[in-house]
Structures are given as C-alpha cells and as structure tokens.
Structure 1
Amino acid sequence: MSTNADLLARRTAAVARGVGHTTPVSAARALNAEVWDVEGKRYIDFAGGIAVLNTGHCHPKVMAAVQAQMERFTHTCFQVLMYEPYIALAERLNAIAPIRGAAKSLFFTTGAEATENAVKIARIVTGRPGIIAFTGAFHGRTNLAVTLTGKVMPYKKGLPATLPDIFHVPFPVAQLGVSIEETLRHLDFIFKADVAPENVAAIIIEPVQGEGGFHMAPPALMRALRRICDEHGILLIADEVQTGFGRTGKMFAMEHYDVHPDLVCVAKSLAGGFPLSGVIGRADVIDGVDPGGLGGTYAGNPLACAAALAVLDVLKEEKLIDRANVIGDMLVNRIKGWETRNDLLPVSAVRGPGAMIAFDIVKDRGTFEPDAEATRRVVQKAWQSGLVLLSCGTTFSTIRILVPLTASDAVLQEGMDLLEGALAAG
C-alpha cells in the first residue's frame, strides 16, 4: 500500500514543481464533506476542491447521472455530433442566469477557458481591444487569464511580459484602505491616461474576490460600473467561477445586486467535481461570434453536462441555497466568538455572503496588520489534526472556508473545533 510519504516522493520526482500543493496528503476516497487518505486517516474538508464541491464529494444523484451517461457515450465533440445534455444544460442556465433579456450559453472545461472566451466574445462583438480588471482578482493561469489576474505572486512571477490592452484598478477593500471613490478615480485616470473608454471592450469583475481574499464588491461599485458600461458601450463580465451555484446564498452572486452583467463566467461547482465551465450571456452579445469561432474538442463534455444537470436538481431538491445561509450564520457566529479570546491567535474581519466565509489572521488584536507566517502555520496545523483548509488574499493572511453545502451540522462543528485548535496560541 502506498503511503503519503511514498506518493509525495513520487510526485516530487514526476510532477512539475510549478504545480503547488497545500498538503502532503494523498486522497484515497471521499464522501460528502469527509476525505480519507491512503493511510486511512479521516479529514473534514473545508476546501471543497477550491469551491468545486458545493454538492459534496460523490453525491449519489450526480454519480448516478454520470454513470448513466457513461453507458451511452463519453465523447463525440459537440461541434461534430451534438447531444442533449449540452443543450438541456444551456436551457437550464439561460432560464436562471442573472442576465436581462434572452440568454444563450456555451461550455468549456476550465475556469480560465471561461474567462478567456468571455473576453474573446467581448472583443469580437465590440471591435475593441481594452479590458479593465481589478487588483486582487483571479481569473486563471493561462496567458490571457493570468494577465487579467491582479496578483503577481505566485501567478505572474517569472513572466517576462503579460499581454497588452489590459488595465487594473484597485478593488475597494476597507481594511486595506481602498475606497469605492478611489477605485472609480483610478478608473477615470486610466480612461484619461491609458485607454479611451470607446476603446474598452469589457470590465471583468468577481462579485466576491476568491484568491483576492473573499472581499465582496460593494453594491455602489456595481451600480457605478453598470452606469459606466452603459454610457460607453462597454460590456460587464461577472466572473462567477468561484461564487456560483449557491455558495453565496444565491444561485449566482450577482443576484445580491440590482444590476445585471452582460456575460457570466461559470465553472467549479457547476458539475460537482467533473471538469466543466461556461459563459452565459445576452443572446445578442454571444451570437456576435461567427460559427467556428468558439468551442473546443472536449468543451462541454457529455459526462460533465450530465453531472451539471444533476447538480442543479440537487441544489433545488435539497434547498442548498438556503442551507448556504444557515451554514454562513453558523460559521460567522463561531468566528466572531474568537475575536476577543486571548488564548487564540488574533483574528479579524470575518466576512462573506452565504457560505463563502473568510477571516484574517493579524499580528495584533484590533488591527488589520496581516500575519502571513501565522496563517501558514494554522493551515499546516489544521491538516495535521484532520482538517483540510485553505488560505488566500493579497497579503496571504486570510483563512477561507469552502465546506460543501451538504455537510451536516455535526461535521461542521467538528471542523470548526479543529480550526479553533489550529488557532490556539503558542
């Protein structure tokens, strides 16, 4: 039987160093919000495959849908021989997406493909090159997506240059000293100094930043962006790769706002662990690309589309969007109780809509001074005690919780007990 150490040694010898890893643990099996490693140790999963498992590991309805599709066929390439799961999924998403008017969808495999294709659509339809993104944003690791990403370490380190015609403005975060007014002032500077608004194809924004630290875009910012886009003929792209499908207490995070995007990027929890991404958008925008200009050999794989249809059923049948809000309240109340405890590391700024919850580890109680080293130790202590946990943020000091929405109260509380233990001072 392989051990974690054996597999780590083999990984080090065989796998590219640039593919990072949070733990030295190798999974053997998983169910709902629990994982067992190759040595039989049990872990509670607060990472959810980085927001991929809103419906948990191996949900029986998702697994049954994939098994049934697998017995029919696994691949034809949709551009060659179309199939119903792709069409049915597009119909379902078009009906529920936060798009004003008629919508259409198309599918890919990864989140980066979704963001790249949304930008591609925007550029083709508008005939303009410019794209506005935000500091702290994460839109993927491929060449265009990493240029959109507003975080140098570790995603852009060593790149001699990134692509042109992409500009970043500060994302408003109160504890980092960035206001909405400052964000909009910088956008105005860009329009005056770098690119005229009539040469900008799109503004792309995460409603809640993922890798950037789970900071939610203020409603006033979304309204201002929608106004600016409408005034100058710019498209508004919502990157919902991490926020979609119930995580924030809404089906889509854009439902927290009173404005609508033109294009929405989706992936991660869309297919319950099977690789699938997509772009949903205004029909008149998406149809601005000629046939053959979009797609991919594996794009919208039939197994993944079958899984996604089952995921949408599970979200509705098990009322997981409501459950996200219950989980969020439970987590926030527990974390707030830690803020005044001297026997724990100082924590600050608990935040997040629904079950997309995060908090910062700081050097001194009552301040916002980040403690990246302490955060690293907490993540390490957590997995050593049986809790899979992730950090994030531009200062590397944010603990984020992405537990499956199907997790029981007992498992949630057990996980929070383990997190509290990892925060113990000393």
Structure 2
Amino acid sequence: MFVRARSSALVSRAGLKGGSVFPPRTPRFSLSARTLSTTSPRSQTHASLVEFGQRHVTKGIGRQVEAIIEKGEGSYLTLGDGRKMLDFTCGIAVTNLGHCHPKVSAAAAEQCMKLVHGQCSIGFHGPYLELIQRLLPMMPHPSLDSFYFWNSGSEAIEGAIKMARSVSGRQNIITLQGAYHGRTYGALALTKSKTVYAEGFHPLMPGVFTAPFPYWHHFSLPPTTPASELTSLCLNQLELLLQQQSAPKDTAAIILEPVIGEGGYVPAPPEYLKGLREICDREGILLIVDEVQSGFLRTGKNFAIEYSGVRPDIMTVAKGLANGFPLSGIITRREISDGLRPGSMGGTYAGNAVACAAAVATADAFKNENILENVNARSKELFGYLEPLRSNPAILDIRGLGLMVAVEFASPTRTSVHDPLRNPHAPAKLASRVAKRCQEKGMFLLTTSAYEVVRFMPALNVSKEDLKKGCDIFVEAVDEIVREG
C-alpha cells in the first residue's frame, strides 16, 4: 500500500499520466515513408542501393569500389553495374578455393537442413569433430592436437592471449614490428602494421612490447641484405628487450606471423624463426604463430611455419579455413589447453555447425583437387611474370611464398626523410594508383603496409589462363602509371 501511494504521489507531482514517473520523450527525428520503405532490394536500382549503403553503413569501413557485389564464382566477382571482375584479393585470402566452390556450398546447404547452431557449451556436434579429424594430419607438428573453433581471426588471437597468460601465469606479450593480429581490443594492441587501426582508440591492452621483424626496410637497408644479417639484428634486439623492458619471468608469449601480412607480405627467414624457438625454450615463453592469412596452402605448404620446421606452442587460423564461412581456430598441445578451467573459453557462435561443415568440405577439396600442386605451379608462373619488373627503377622488391606475393614500389613521400631508400624521382602513391588502374581494367588488387606495396592473393585453384590475365593487367597498369609519373 505504501509503495502504491508513493508511486501515485510521484506521478501527481510530476504532472504525468499513465503511471510513468518519466516524462515523455520527444522523437529526435521522424520516420519518413522513405525510411520505413519495405521495398525489396531486388526491385531497387543499383544506384539507389549504393546510395542507401553510403547513407547507412558505418563510415568506419573503407571500400575499393562503390558498387554492389551480386555474385561470386571461382576467381570472378560480378557487380550490380554489370562489371565482371577478376578477383586477386579472395576476400583477403579467405576464398582460397574461389567464390562459391560447389562442394563447399553444397556441404553448408546440407548442414543447414540438419543443424545450424549447436552451441559448444551444450555438447559436441558432428562437423566440429569431423573438422578436427581432417585438420590433425595437416598440422605442422604432431604435438598440436587440441582445437577450439571460434568465428574470426581476431577472436582466435584474443583466445590465444588468454590461454598464454592463463597457463603461464605471466602477463606480458611480445609482438613484432609490422604485425597485424586484428582490430578487437586485445588483438589491436598487438597490431603494429599501421596506426590507422588504433588511432583514436587508446588506451589499448597493457603489457604489450614490440620487437623488430627481419624486414630490410625497417632497418633502412637494401632488399639485398642477407637474411642472416637481418636475423642477427632482430634476435639481438629481442634479447635486449628481455633485459630492458619485459623480463622473461613476466613474459607469457611471443606472437608472430611467419609471413607478415598487413606489414608487407614479408616472409620471416627460417633461421630467425629457429632463433625465436630457442629463446622461447630457454626462457619458458610460449610461441604463438599466427597463420590466419598465411595458412591453408596459401604459401605453398599447409602452413608457412613449415618452411622453418619450428614447432608452435599455440597456432591461430581463420580466413581460408572455411572458404568464406566465418570460422577460426586456436590449436595447441593438450598439456597446455588441459590447464584451462571449463568455461574460460566459449562463445555463442563458436564452432558454428554450418561453418564447420563448410570447413570439412574445404579440407577435402584441398586434398582431392590437388590444390597444393596448383599453388606451387602457379607461384612459379606468377614470379616469372613479375621478375622482369625488377629492372624498373620504380620497383624496390618482389617477394613472397606460394600465392602470397607482394611488389614493393619506390616512394618519394611515404617514407621518412631519413630513409636512404626514399626516391624523390619515383611517382607518388604508386601502390594505390596501380591498384586503382588494375580495377579500371577489370581486376581487384589490394595494397598493404606502411610502404608502397601491392599484394597478390588469387584463389589457390586459379587457372593458368586467369593468372596470366591478371598479371598482364598488372604489368600494363605499372607501365602506364610509371609513365604518367
């Protein structure tokens, strides 16, 4: 009775009706008929859909082209304005079997009619376990036998950080210069490829330290610098970091990409990776290998770390794992993952059944369709098409492994005035201009890194003819842009 009387008194004093103690809110905007339109996208024009997207999709996303992607098939994308584009981006090394691979799409469709969502905290589901069976023989080391599937590469990095800190009892993580590990907060703290990803979002996760990566340009050395020299420089600086900034007893893990992606598609020398392994073994530090972009045959092996023979303690995967379906993984030794408390890992959509079924079909296609053989054959052809460009003074380097390849241009502006490789006579913004010209000629190509770099990541089953077509477009674009100055 007291509560009812008190509520009535409050309503009376506020002069409100309907029993609410809060004043009515005045809408900040009115919902026009246009806003409430239920017109099907299929009945709208391409231009109107693009305009709608420009108004309502967050400005935090950048796009190469203002167009609707209507269809993907193999190495091609069809846009709503009628253009058919050769795609040498593969959704950033995701659709490794090309767009809408029929067996992968069929497996996902079939799974949709059985079980779409089998929450991992309720029980096992078949595709999850089938996927582990397919992946175990692909692992770069037999000790990697404990799997946790999540949704995105960033989430896999977040989980790897949690795991490393939990099982080691230490807090600090050492990342490498030029690294890209994602854009969620923990992963973002480890990302050191460009400031644009973290600009305005600080403070980030504490306990992160940065060591140099063996990339000649970071040291203002020529691209011909021996790998042994770069390895010595970097391992010495890492040892110094452990003496000056993060004591080994405080360091949980060192995390690296065996081929830095957003940092410029630079492979780490095998001797450097072996040196990291030795330091980690000596100091009880975990080695986290991020194969999100370089994994699943992209570099000519199942995983890029195989070129060195180095054993990861924890390995993260995503992108090419399920050929376009959102799925990532954290893979480690059971002796590490057995130290986790049940419930410390989890997520609503983690290891989604449809995505896992797609990944099973993807793994089967890798094996049954001789994808690895195609990668290595096309890689030789790709380097063969690109190597003649080295004679052009606008080209600094051509590098990579498998079908993870980059071309670095000289720059008059983007590097420091103290960089001896800075070329005042080179055309400005070569990477972005060449990528745009390729787009105008019918091919998508992406830039990368803080330097002037373009990267090639065609589908791993790209045909000989489509590879040549893409390379011809690129060589023509380079020639035209360099002549334009």
TM-score, reference length from structure 2? 0.83
Structure 1 portions without partners, runs of 5+: none
Alignment of 1:330-345 (within 5 A): 330-340=381-391
Kept in 2: contact 1:111–1:268 (CA 8 A): yes
Once residues 234 and 363 of structure 1 are traced to their aligned partners in structure 2, the CA distance between those partners, rounded to angstroms, is 39
Retained in 2: the 8 A contact 1:207–1:217? yes
1:356 aligns with 2:404: yes
Match of 1:194 in 2: 245
CA contact (8 A) 1:116 1:145 kept: yes
Provide the residue aligned with 2:39 in structure 1. none
Q: 1:346 aligns with which of 374, 394, 401?
A: 394
- Give the drift of 1:153: 2.4
Q: How many Å apart are 1:123 and its aligned residue?
A: 0.6
1:369 to 422, 426, 438: 422
Q: How far apart are the structure 2 equivalents of 1:198 and 1:8?
A: 54
Q: Sort the Cα spacing of 1:130 and 1:100 in 2 relative to 1 into closer, same or farther, 3 A.
A: farther
Q: Of 104, 109, 113, which aligns to 1:62?
A: 104
In the other structure, the counterpart of 2:120 is 78
Structure 1 residue 160, shift from structure 2 partner? 2.8
Contact 1:28 1:38 in 2 (8 A): yes
Listed as ranges, the matches of 1:148-297 within 5 Å are 148-177=190-219, 179-297=230-348
d(CA) in 2 for partners of 1:197, 1:100 = 27
SS at the partner of 2:181? coil
The answer to whether the Cα contact below 8 Å between 2:271 and 2:308 also exists between their aligned partners in 1 is no
SS of equivalent residue, structure 1 residue 357: strand
Contact 2:67 2:81 in 1 (8 A): no
Q: What is the CA–CA distance in structure 2 between the aligned matches of 1:238 and 1:388, rounded to whole Å?
A: 29
In 1, Cα distance between equivalents of 2:358 and 2:372:
18
- Paired AA for residue 396 in structure 2: S
Greater C-alpha radius of gyration: 2
| Distance (whole Å) between structure 2 residues aligned to residue 78 and residue 372 of structure 1 | 51
Equivalent of 2:357, from 279, 303, 306? 306
String of CA shifts for 1:146-170, please: whole Å, max 9, x gaps: 0011134211111232211110111
CA distance in 2, matches of 1:41, 1:118: 41
Distance 1:225 1:76 in 2: 39
CA distance in 2, matches of 1:37, 1:109: 27
**CA separation of 1:286/1:399 partners in 2, compared to 1, >3 Å: closer, same or farther?**
same
CA RMSD of aligned residues (A): 1.7
- 8 Å CA contact retained: 1:97, 1:280: no
Counterparts of 1:25 and 1:314 in 2: how far apart (Å)? 31
Match of 2:464 in 1: 409
**Partners of 1:101 and 1:415 in 2: CA distance:** 40
Deviations 1:133-183 (A, max 9, x none): 001000000000000111342111112322111101111112443722222
State the distance in 2 between where 1:368 and 1:312 align: 43
Q: Show CA shifts across 1:290-327 (max 9, x none).
A: 11111211011011100000111111111111211111
CA distance in 2, matches of 1:279, 1:95: 16
Cα distance change of structure 1 residues 106 and 372 upon mapping to structure 2, 3 Å threshold: farther
| Residues 358, 398 of structure 1: 8 Å contact kept | yes
C-alpha spacing 1:372/1:207, structure 2 compared with 1 (3 Å): farther
Instruction: Tell me the secondary structure at the aligned position of residue 391 of structure 1.
Output: strand
- Say whether residues 1:147 and 2:189 are aligned partners: yes
3-state SS of 2:391 partner = coil
Equivalents in 2 of 1:42, 1:235: separation in Å? 46
* Contact 2:258–2:267 under 8 Å retained in 1: yes
> Given the alignment of the two structures, is residue 322 of structure 1 paired with residue 378 of structure 2, yes or no?
no
CA distance in 2, matches of 1:295, 1:93: 21
SS for the counterpart of 1:338 is helix
2:71 matched to 1:29?
yes
* Contact 1:208–1:243, Cα closer than 8 Å, also in 2: yes
1:400 corresponds in structure 2 to: 455
| Secondary structure at the counterpart of residue 140 of structure 1 | coil
Q: CA deviation at 1:189?
A: 2.4
SS in 2 for 1:339: helix
Question: What is the TM-score with the length of structure 1 in the denominator?
Answer: 0.95
- In 1, Cα distance between equivalents of 2:365 and 2:449: 31
Tell me how far apart the structure 2 counterparts of residues 311 and 338 of structure 1 sit (CA, whole Å): 35
- For the 8 Å contact 1:86–1:300, the answer to whether it is kept is yes
Please state how far the C-alpha of 1:379 moved relative to its aligned partner.
1.2
- State the distance in 2 between where 1:288 and 1:257 align: 28
CA distance in 2, matches of 1:3, 1:41: 15
Residue in structure 2 matched with residue 422 of structure 1 by the alignment: 477
